[in-house]
Amino acid sequence: MERAAVYDNELNLKATELRLGLPGADESEKQSSRNNKRSSAEMDDSRDKDEQESAPAPKAQVVGWPPVRSYRKNILHQKNESDLSGIFVKVSMDGAPYLRKIDLKVYINYQDLLKALENMFKCSIGVYSEREGYDGSEFAPTYEDKDGDWMLVGDVPWDMFITSCKRLRIMKGSEAKGLGCL
C-alpha cells in the first residue's frame, strides 16, 4: 500500500499506517502549539481543547489547571517554541565538493525538507514510498540517527526524525537501492 509523502496533516491515516516508528510516538503533541501569535481568548479556548484532546500519555490535562492566566500561558508557549535552538545538521551529497549545514527546525515536514534539499543541491530526489524508498530517483536522502545507523529519510514520523537526525547524506540512487525494501 503506497503511502503518499504527506506528513503535513495529522490525518487519521496515521491510525492505519505501517511504519517503523514506535507506536504512540509523539506525533500530535506539538500540533496545537503552532502559530499562536494572537493572545485572544478565542485562541486560548481552542488551544486548551487541543491540549485536552492530545493529552500526553501520563496524565490528562485539566481545563484551567494549573491556574495560569491565558496571557502568561501564551507568552511562555511562544518562548518555548522560539527558545528551542535550531537543530543544525550537516548535509553531504555524493560527488559534491563541500558540505552544507541546515536547521531542521525551519522545516515543517518531509516535503518541505526534501524540496529545500533539491534546491540546495540542484538534484532530484523524488517521492518517498514506503515500499520502494526513493527508487527510481537519481538521489536518495539518508540520515545518521542517534544510534549511528544510516536510515532512509521518510520512514519515521517527522517529529521523531528531527530529534534523532544527526547528519544527512544524499546518496546516489543506485547506491541506495535495496535500502528502502523491507
Which positions lie near other proteins, rule CB under 8 A?
A: 37-42, 44-45, 48, 51, 56, 58-59, 61-73, 75-76, 79-80, 83
d(C-alpha 108, C-alpha 102), whole Å? 13
Task: State the nearest-atom distance from the C-beta of 40 to other proteins, in Å.
Answer: 5
d(C-alpha 169, C-alpha 143), whole Å? 6
Task: State the nearest-atom distance from the C-beta of 79 to other proteins, in Å.
Answer: 6
Task: State the nearest-atom distance from the C-beta of 63 to other proteins, in Å.
Answer: 6
Neighbour-count burial of 83, counting CB atoms closer than 10 A to its CB (0-12 exposed, 13-18 middle, 19+ buried): exposed
Residue nearer to other proteins on the CB measure, 52 or 124: 52
Q: What angle separates helix 41-53 from helix 70-83, to the nearest 10 degrees?
A: 70
Residue nearer to other proteins on the CB measure, 4 or 41: 41
Q: Residue 167 contacts by C-beta under 8 Å, 6 or more apart in sequence?
A: 89, 90, 91, 92, 143, 144
Q: Residue 104 contacts by C-beta under 8 Å, 6 or more apart in sequence?
A: 86, 87, 88, 89, 113, 162, 165
Residue nearer to other proteins on the CB measure, 38 or 101: 38
Task: State the nearest-atom distance from the C-beta of 52 to other proteins, in Å.
Answer: 11
Q: Residue 86 contacts by C-beta under 8 Å, 6 or more apart in sequence?
A: 103, 104, 105, 106
Task: State the nearest-atom distance from the C-beta of 36 to other proteins, in Å.
Answer: 11
Q: Residue 135 contacts by C-beta under 8 Å, 6 or more apart in sequence?
A: 129, 173, 177, 180
Residue nearer to other proteins on the CB measure, 71 or 150: 71
Task: State the nearest-atom distance from the C-beta of 14 to other proteins, in Å.
Answer: 23
Residue nearer to other proteins on the CB measure, 34 or 79: 79
Residue nearer to other proteins on the CB measure, 33 or 164: 33
